Amino acid sequence: MRAVIQRVLGAQVKVADRPVGTIEKGLLVYLSVGHGDTEQNAQFIADKLSNLRIFADSAGKMNLSVQDIGGKILLISNFTLYGDCRKGRRPGFDAAGLPEAAEALYEKVAELIGRSDVPVAKGSFGAYMQVSSVNDGPVNFLLDSSRLF
């Protein structure tokens, strides 16, 4: 699994111009499932998202997690994170997981985050979505459950 993590002051996702998920301070996370990903990968991602210390403490250091600050996570499915742009001019998506398996693991990540008492809002899997956010910092991180980066 791969994720782009953004620390935000607020974020919203719309489908067909209707809001389906909104958060205030927290994390906007774009999540992609790759071929061969399992529930173990989902557990790794969910644990990192709930506990990654990327919010400032009183000294201005990144020492607090989304859980620590009482924030929320907006989780957006995004298969393009497995897009391969190394050859040609059109990305290839061979490494992206098949939709049925990917949706189940996306939902599993949301469920596992919820179990850690971090509220989760979601986009609509497979839908065309419009995402807006106010990045805080900006602070952005890349995460890969295979630890490639």
Q: What is the pLDDT of residues 50-60, one digit of tens each?
A: 999 999 999 99
Question: Could you give all domains of the chain from N- to C-terminal order, each with its CATH number?
Answer: 2-144 (3.50.80.10)
What SS3 state is found at 66?
Answer: coil
Sheet strands (E) in 61-129? 62-64, 72-77, 120-122
Confidence category of residue 47, pLDDT binned at 50, 70, 90: very high
pTM, two decimals, is 0.97
Biggest CA–CA distance in the chain, Å, is 48
Q: What are phi and psi of 85, to 5 degrees?
A: -105, 15
Return the residue matching tokens 């935000």.
8
Check residue 148 and give its pLDDT: 87
> How many CB atoms are closer than 10 A to CB 16?
10
